[in-house]
Amino acid sequence: MSVMHFDKDNFEKEVLLSSHPVIVDFWAPWCAPCRMLAPILEEAAAEAGPNVIVGKVNIDEEMDLASRYSVMSIPTIVLFRSGKEAARLVGVQTKEDILHMLED
């Protein structure tokens, strides 16, 4: 599955109301660690399977979403289950670390 792009218009429907776990990467185009994480996130999305949604929020374009979820550093990866934050990772992560979030 490819990585989706979330914004204020689709965040509620695609993330908060999803019946599947959703991994959200809060990032910015100018952030070098965020760019390093991008291919790792793509791999994690491919391996996670069809019952997991993976997407990104550009914090430069969606400052309100970043603020609502207290994103202080980027990249920040948040796992949502049933519309609630279930886990959080900050900084560049391995594919295994990202997929491990789904096991808890």
Residue the block writes with tokens 């391995």? 94
**Tokens encoding 102:** 């789904």
Q: Which amino acids are annotated catalytic?
A: 31, 34
**47 CB contacts (<8 Å, ≥6 apart)?**
95, 99
